[in-house]
Chains A and B, each alone.
Chain A
Amino acid sequence: MTANLAGDVKISYADLPPQAPSGSVPVLLLHGFGSSFDMNWRATGWPRALESAGRRVIGPDLRGHGGSDKPTDSGLYLPEHFVADLLRLLDELGLGSVDVVGYSMGSRLAWALALTAPERVRRVVLGGFGPVDALAGLGEHEPGAGDTPFDHVFRAVSGLPGNDPEALAACARGQAADPFTVEPGPEGVPLLLVAGAKDTVAEGAADLAGSRESAFVEIPGRDHANAVSSRVFKQAVVDFLAD
């Protein structure tokens, strides 16, 4: 685990080698809101699954999260800032193109990265993500004060050790200020969507996959919190990203 300066906000990231070199492009893992690389991906067994498939894993803590800097100005959490962080990280590592796997907010950012710099992204997996604006109505109350699926997520993560509720609230507002839209979508970048069958945050994921002529994998019995660690999810991703 190393930390490097990538622009105005310090970004911490993991760079994990494959078990055996395969020549495949590295896999960039983008965690969800209020989580971190360690919590979202490492603890759920993802590096192991990808490394044993011969993949190098790049796992940043997104700004406002984990070991990265946590500004409290919501203007610094517009999607374009996350995308700029990721492009600087790829530049710093000398990586031309990567596969990107996102979960929840990380999926939204994976989409934004592929839209901004399609030449840097080979394939994209959107996990735990749907086209419904999870942050709709955020302007009317403090994050976590309502009863939307996002409020539940906010309450669950804001008390986790290492999280700064003020930075997370700023992050939620920054994301809400520039809502996700299905059009325009990234062109020429194959997509895979994966979500738990009981994931209310990812509502509409199958429709989004249909509109992008992409595959959708539903994980039986899983919700937004426990779909990430699923073996079905990992296998679908390893297969989709295989050369």
Chain B
Amino acid sequence: MAEENITFTLPDLGEGLVEATVLEWQVAVGDVIGRNDPLVEVETTKSAVVIPSPKAGRVVELHAEEETVVPVGDPLVTFAVEVAEAPRAGIVGKVPTEEATPRRRVRLKPPTD
């Protein structure tokens, strides 16, 4: 398995909110966390929320200090995630229909259960 770095930005928290204050990180650089594990606690003018992790992976970098204000869309955290290698041709004449392209994806909203 190869690794790829993916950066997660502060999602749109709705209600026209344009920024949030980082209250407390629930993870540290080097932590290996699961999808939906608590990632960071942020506060807006309306409420405090815990943003769950959009990915399973290893935390590579935290982009915001606690007590600082982060605009929606700015980087929050970078993960190293495992990505599948490009699929090989099958033994019995099965040919992959498309190239496996490890695409860079930035999730704009936290996953909902």
Which of A's residues lie within 8 Å of B, judged by CB?
39, 43-45, 48-49, 156, 160-161, 225-226, 228-231
Contacts and interface: CB of A to CB of B under 8 A. Distances in A.
Contacts of A156: 46
21 contacts: A43-B47, A44-B48, A44-B49, A45-B41, A45-B52, A48-B36, A48-B37, A48-B38, A48-B50, A48-B52, A49-B38, A160-B15, A225-B43, A225-B47, A226-B43, A226-B48, A229-B41, A229-B43, A230-B24, A231-B38, A231-B41
Q: Is the interface of B mostly helix, strand, loop or mixed?
A: strand
Interface of B: 15, 23-24, 26, 36-38, 41, 43, 46-50, 52
B26 A231 contact: yes
A132 to B, nearest CB: 23
A230 B50 CA distance: 9
B61 to A, nearest CB: 21
Contacts of B36: 48
B81 to A, nearest CB: 20
A110 B38 CA distance: 27
A148 B50 CA distance: 28
B101 to A, nearest CB: 33
Given A45-B41, A160-B46, 5 more contacts: A43-B49, A48-B38, A160-B15, A229-B49, A230-B24
Contact of A230 (B37, B41, B47): B41
Contacts of B46: 156, 160
Nearest to A229: B48
A156 B43 CA distance: 14
Given A48-B36, A48-B38, A229 B15 contact: no
A214 B46 CA distance: 32
A212 B59 CA distance: 44
When A and B form their complex, which 8 residue pairs have the shortest distance between CB atoms, in order from nearest? A45-B50, A226-B48, A229-B48, A43-B49, A226-B43, A229-B41, A45-B38, A229-B50
